[in-house]
């Protein structure tokens, strides 16, 4: 049996030899290892009037962000929220999200980002699982909060909306869906007027190793799980990525349209810009015209996209009419479409910058665990497929193990990606059994399939777990199955994915319906029910079957379902 210490030393030696010239080998902490909100305070002192966030032309300076987040921390405290309490943020991308995020960290409460695409059952689950006592919700979503409130531990609710922060004359293109009228809710506290009336007393309750956020991810058994992360996790991810992966500085103008309720969006849209003192142009949602006009207007230097987004820009009829050559870095993630030579060349002609694969990562690891920066000479990265995700960030280690036995596998052999990192989750919230299964001796068993090659580079081969990617969004069959189990006429289901050229993958649900169902249930009836009870991207195609293929232990044989496709 291979000795782990010898294996890891050999891998590290190969990775050191492959390290690209000019790329730092250590993370850099400009203010030291201190809580993330201390970085906000630093930049508010050093560059108080520099914009921290720009929302369609509405600028929120570092001074204003620091003061407003202090006010929000005080507002929470005035309504009985104390250190360790969970606070849900049920918002799309907007400046108020950043104010809430940093206010929660300052108070020492726990940030719970909630997907604004959720439907009622999903919202109830996350609020119940976290025991959230306060929520900040978009005005357009508050009716749902009102409906679920009696089934939760919520004590206080705040609302806010796009209408309060969109300028009368936006600086660049605003999609029509963002122009929403203000919706008033007398049974909730209107956030911005409440902040204006609250004192801006500095609050510093959150410690570096306290629980700071519960970032939800799915799993192959049951409902989603809350990954416990600390502010130390946040600043390690920032110190490595902003040094090794992006080389980010206060002079940079970033652009983020990734949903900041995702862990990747939290990193790119909240943590990295404030850690580095940069400015973030925040979009409420993806729109190619908004992207191009914002890059041109603010001379954006750093952007992260899905490859699909980049292709949409390159194919846009107005692409040649906008100057995108301020971009010096474009990190792209391969989901439906993959980074390839043709896309890279087209992107270089349009922007003057290179399209580079972003990283491998998971919600459990705070996402950015590898880098490919500096590995583009001769397109080496793209000629090293399947998906080349580069070298581990400083302080992060990988090994490839047998999925069943856990034994180490030789270099060049595919198996389970196992990782340990300073930003590894501390556990799954209130789920000790799942934590024990995933975290073993300080290592995370990812369930992902990969290989480390002879040069020490990591390649991602796919997800052994059943997770699907629908237009870049994570969809977990077990979660859909759990939701389908709540339908009164469904007595069993099995969900798998089918490939789709437009969406990447599409969930397909094979369901058994109770023979006694009256009136008879049709597939379209179940789809309509799903649309009322789960986010739209999770809604499956439905096929009614007389029986489901089962194992002796009562599990659905997914491979048999695949044959039915």
Q: For the domain that residue 553 is a member of, what is the CATH number?
A: 3.30.300.30
Report if residue 110 sits inside a domain: yes
Strands (E), 346-489: 355-357, 370-371, 388-392, 397-401, 415-420, 439-440, 443-452, 458-463, 468-470, 473-475
In whole numbers, what is the pLDDT of the chain averaged over residues? Answer: 93
Q: Where are the alpha helices (DSSP H) in 390-522?
A: 432-438, 477-484
Measured CA to CA, the distance from residue 457 to residue 241 in angstroms comes to 17
Handedness of CA 421, 328, 357, 374 (dihedral sign): negative
Strand, coil or helix: what is 28? coil
CATH number, domain with residue 245:
3.40.50.980
- Both 412 and 533 in one domain: the answer is no
* Token pair belonging to 254: 């970033």
195 is a domain residue: yes
142 domain residue, yes or no? yes
Is 376 a domain residue? no
Q: Alpha-carbon distance 493 to 259, whole Å? A: 30
Task: Please check whether residues 425 and 556 belong to one and the same domain.
Answer: no
**pLDDT single digits (tens) 357-412:** 989 999 999 999 999 999 999 999 988 866 789 999 999 999 999 999 999 999 99
> Are residues 557 and 421 part of one domain?
no
User: Residue 546: how many CB atoms within 10 A of its CB?
Assistant: 7
pLDDT, tens only, 74-126? 999 999 999 999 999 999 999 999 999 999 999 999 999 999 999 999 999 99
Q: What's the pLDDT score for residue 218?
A: 61
CATH number of the domain within which 452 lies: 2.30.38.10
**Residues 522 and 430 placed together within one structural domain of the fold:** no
Q: Which residue has the higher pLDDT, 203 or 478?
A: 203
The answer to the question of residue 234 being in a domain is yes
Give percent above pLDDT 90 in the chain.
79
Residue ending a domain, among 463, 479, 494, is 463
89, HSE (Cβ side, Cα atoms, 13 Å): 32
- Residue range 274-315, pLDDT digits in tens: 999 999 999 999 999 999 999 999 999 999 999 889 999 999
Question: Cα–Cα distances in Å, from 181 out to 1, 60, 176, 382?
Answer: 65, 21, 11, 46
DSSP 8-state class, residue 490 = E
- Burial of residue 135, with CB atoms counted within 10 A of its CB: 0-12 exposed, 13-18 middle, 19 or more buried: buried
Give CA torsion, residues 401, 406, 408, 411, to 10 deg.
-20
Give domain status of residue 257, yes or no.
yes
State how far the Cα of 204 lies from the Cα of 418, in Å rounded to an integer. 36
Buried b vs exposed e over 225-247: b needs ≥16 C-beta within 10 Å? bbbbbbbbbbbbbbbbbbbbbbb
From the CB of residue 257, how many other CB atoms can be counted at a distance below 10 Å? 24
Q: Does 233 map to a domain?
A: yes
Which residue shows structure tokens 């906000």? 40
Residue 454 pLDDT: 96
**Domain annotation covers residue 408:** yes
| Residue of 156, 159, 179, 155 lying closest to 167 (CA atoms) | 179
CA distances from 97 to 192, 263, 537 (A): 12, 14, 23
**Is the dihedral angle over the CA atoms 401, 405, 407, 409 positive or is it negative?**
negative
Residues 488 and 430 in one domain: no
The model's pLDDT over 418-477, given as tens digits with 9 standing for 90+, comes to: 999 999 999 999 999 999 999 999 999 999 888 999 999 999 876 666 778 898 887 878
Query: Do residues 402 and 413 touch, judged by C-beta distance below 8 A?
Result: no
Binned at pLDDT 50, 70 and 90, residue 206 comes out as confident
17 shares a domain with 83: no
Q: Do residues 142 and 118 lie in contact, with contact meaning Cβ atoms separated by under 8 Å?
A: no
- The separation between the first and the last C-alpha atoms of the chain, rounded to the nearest angstrom, is 41
* 189 and 234 belong to one structural domain: yes
The pLDDT tens digits of the residues spanning 523-542 come to 999 999 999 999 999 999 99
The SS3 of residue 211 is: strand
Residue 37, classified by CB atoms within 10 Å of its CB into exposed (0-12), middle (13-18) or buried (19+), is buried
Judge if 91 and 196 occupy the same domain: yes
C-alpha distances out from residue 317 to 259, 272, 397, 427, 551, Å: 26, 32, 44, 47, 53
Per-residue tokens: 36: 């993330």
Q: How confident is the model at residue 235 (pLDDT cuts 50, 70, 90)?
A: very high
The answer to whether 371 touches 245, Cβ cutoff 8 Å, is: yes
Instruction: Report the distance separating Cα 95 and Cα 62, nearest Å.
Output: 12
Identify the domain containing residue 432 by its residue range. 4-21+386-463
Compute the average pLDDT of residues 49-62. Answer: 98
Domain count, the chain: 3
Q: How far apart, in whole angstroms, are the C-alpha atoms of residue 36 and residue 523? A: 49
Alpha-helical regions (H) of 35-151: 36-46, 62-78, 95-107, 120-130, 142-148
Asked if residue 204 and residue 182 are part of one domain, the reply reads: yes
Residue where one domain finishes, among candidates 268, 300, 332:
300
CA neighbor of 188 nearest in space, from 136, 122, 115:
136
The residue-averaged pLDDT of 475-499 equals 83
Residues 442, 474, single domain; the answer is: no
Residues 209, 282 within the same domain: yes
What is the C-alpha separation between 447 and 152, in angstroms, rounded?
Answer: 33
Confidence check: pLDDT of 220 > 60:
no
Which residues, 6 or more positions from 89, have their beta carbon under 8 angstroms from its beta carbon?
97, 100, 101, 104, 111, 112, 113, 114, 135, 136, 261
Nearest CA among 138, 21, 18, 155 for reference residue 79 = 155
Per the CB < 8 A criterion, the answer to whether 290 and 174 are in contact is yes
**Which tokens is 57 given?**
């032309």
The tokens for 535 are 């986010």
155 and 232 both lie in a single domain:
yes
Distances, alpha carbon 159 to alpha carbons 97, 272, 316, 334, in Å: 11, 26, 36, 35
The last residue of one of the domains, among 463, 495, 525, is 463
């Amino acid at each position: 049996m291979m000795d782990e210490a010898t294996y890891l030393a050999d891998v590290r030696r190969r990775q050191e030899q492959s390290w690209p010239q000019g790329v730092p080998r250590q993370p850099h902490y400009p203010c030291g290892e201190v809580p993330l909100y201390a970085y906000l305070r630093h930049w508010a002192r050093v560059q108080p009037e520099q914009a921290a966030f720009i929302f369609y032309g509405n600028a929120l300076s570092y001074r204003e962000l620091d003061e407003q987040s202090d006010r929000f921390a005080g507002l929470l405290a005035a309504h009985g929220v104390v250190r360790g309490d969970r606070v849900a943020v049920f918002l799309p991308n907007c400046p108020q999200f950043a104010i809430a995020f940093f206010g929660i960290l300052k108070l020492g409460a726990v940030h719970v980002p909630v997907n604004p695409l959720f439907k009622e059952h999903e919202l109830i689950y996350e609020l119940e699982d976290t025991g959230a006592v306060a929520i900040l919700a978009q005005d357009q979503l508050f009716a749902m909060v009102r409906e679920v409130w009696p089934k939760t531990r919520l004590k206080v609710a705040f609302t806010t909306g796009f209408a309060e922060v969109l300028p009368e004359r936006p600086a660049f293109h605003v999609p029509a869906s963002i122009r929403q009228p203000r919706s008033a809710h007398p049974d909730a506290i209107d956030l911005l007027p409440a902040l204006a009336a609250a004192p801006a007393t500095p609050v510093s309750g959150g410690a570096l190793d306290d629980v700071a956020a519960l970032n939800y991810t799915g799993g192959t058994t049951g409902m989603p799980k809350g990954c416990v992360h600390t502010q130390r996790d946040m600043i390690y991810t920032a110190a490595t990525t902003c040094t090794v992966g992006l080389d980010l500085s206060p002079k940079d103008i970033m652009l983020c349209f990734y949903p900041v309720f995702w862990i990747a969006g939290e990193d790119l849209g909240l943590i990295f810009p404030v850690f580095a003192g940069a400015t973030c142009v925040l979009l409420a949602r993806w729109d190619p015209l908004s992207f191009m006009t914002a890059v041109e207007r603010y001379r954006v230097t750093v952007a992260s996209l899905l490859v699909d987004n980049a292709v949409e820009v390159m194919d846009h009829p107005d692409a040649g009419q906008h100057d995108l050559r301020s971009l010096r870095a474009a990190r792209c993630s391969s989901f439906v479409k993959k980074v390839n030579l043709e896309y890279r060349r087209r992107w270089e002609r349009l922007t003057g910058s290179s399209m580079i694969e972003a990283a491998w990562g998971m919600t459990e690891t705070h996402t950015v665990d590898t880098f490919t920066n500096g590995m583009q000479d001769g397109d080496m990265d793209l000629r090293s497929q399947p998906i080349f995700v580069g070298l581990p960030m400083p302080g992060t280690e990988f090994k490839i193990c047998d999925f069943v036995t856990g034994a180490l596998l030789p270099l060049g052999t595919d198996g389970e990606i196992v990782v340990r990192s300073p930003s590894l989750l501390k556990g799954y919230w209130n789920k000790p059994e799942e934590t024990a299964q995933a975290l073993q001796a300080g290592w995370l068993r990812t369930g992902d399939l990969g290989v480390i090659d002879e040069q020490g580079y990591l390649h991602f081969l796919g997800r052994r777990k059943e997770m699907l990617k629908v237009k870049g969004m994570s969809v977990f069959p077990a979660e859909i199955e759990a939701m389908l189990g709540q339908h009164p006429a469904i007595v069993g289901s099995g969900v798998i994915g089918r490939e789709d050229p437009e969406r990447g993958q599409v969930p397909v649900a094979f369901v058994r319906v109770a023979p006694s169902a009256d009136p008879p249930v049709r597939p379209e009836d179940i789809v309509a029910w799903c649309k009322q009870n789960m986010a739209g991207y999770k809604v499956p195609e439905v096929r009614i079957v007389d029986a489901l293929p089962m194992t002796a232990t009562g599990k659905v044989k997914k491979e048999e379902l695949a044959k039915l496709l």
